[in-house]
Amino acid sequence: MPQPTLLKRAIAELIGTFVLVFLGTGSVVTSVVFFGGVDSAGLLLIGLSFGFAVMIMIYAFGHISGTHINPAVSIALWATGRFPSKDLVAYVAAQLIGAVAASLVIVAIVGTRAVDAGLGHTMPGDGVSYWQAIAIEAVTTFFLVLVIWGAAVDKRAAGGFAGLAIGLVVAADIIVTGPIAGASMNPARTFGPLLTETFWGTTSGWEKFPIYIIGPIVGGLIAAFAYDYVSGIKSAGDKDES
């Protein structure tokens, strides 16, 4: 059984991102549509939904595609020489398609009420500036990528716990910073609901989209290079596939 082809790995990324966005943003939609809004308890459940989704897909597809399910993670792996350039475009495209597909399926199931509820899109909270939102996205993605590097990329890490650790850091990031700027940490996770809302005539979120591109990518890159420096693992990576 050889390594899966790029097509198969891209399909795994698509499915993984689909599950993440369906369960994650789906938890926001159901909170708003069926429970009337998101309070602090709802925020806890939303954080856990995202965290569980990331965790289960890491265990399901981690050995097949690597379960990046996040362009910021793929770019951080690529920038540190651990992920080939020829695979990067396919992975990011698959992640974006998977995210859009998940939002479309949510609308198909819940109806336009899901669009009215915002489809779980990410937006800065009241009183949060553009740059503050970029900063909080960078900080939360820094935590996420730092844990990915420490729990999975570094081969000295205890085996089998990466999915749990990464799921928990995603949940913690969302629970703490969700009200500030949505705690996306993932351009694909924001892109899916945004594009789907656009299909139904809501285009107001696009001016905020750069927040969720710049913040996660910058935070992810800082974390990747910081971990490589602090840990002493080579840029090429002890667990490099090449």
Q: Pattern of binders to another protein over 25-64, x per CB under 8 A?
A: ---------------------------------x---xxx
Q: Pattern of binders to another protein over 66-95, x per CB under 8 A?
A: xxx----x---x----xx------------
The reply to whether 139 sits near another protein by the rule CB under 8 A is no
Measured distance CA(178)–CA(220) in Å, rounded? 18
Number of Cβ atoms within 10 Å of the Cβ of 210: 13
Work out which of 19, 21, 106, 148 binds another protein, going by CB under 8 A: 148
The reply to whether 185 sits near another protein by the rule CB under 8 A is no
Asked if 163 contacts 58 with a C-beta cutoff of 8 angstroms, the reply is yes
- List, in sequence order, the alpha helices (H) in 62-185: 71-79, 85-110, 112-116, 130-148, 162-181
Work out which of 96, 162, 181, 221 binds another protein, going by CB under 8 A: 162
Asked if 193 contacts 103 with a C-beta cutoff of 8 angstroms, the reply is yes
CB of 211 to another protein, least distance (A): 25
| Residue of 87, 47, 64, 90 lying closest to 179 (CA atoms) | 47
Work out which of 42, 71, 163, 192 binds another protein, going by CB under 8 A: 163
Residue whose structure tokens are 């097509």: 7
Applying CB under 8 A, the residues found at the interface with another protein are: 1-4, 9, 58, 62-68, 73, 77, 82-83, 148, 152-153, 162-163, 239-241
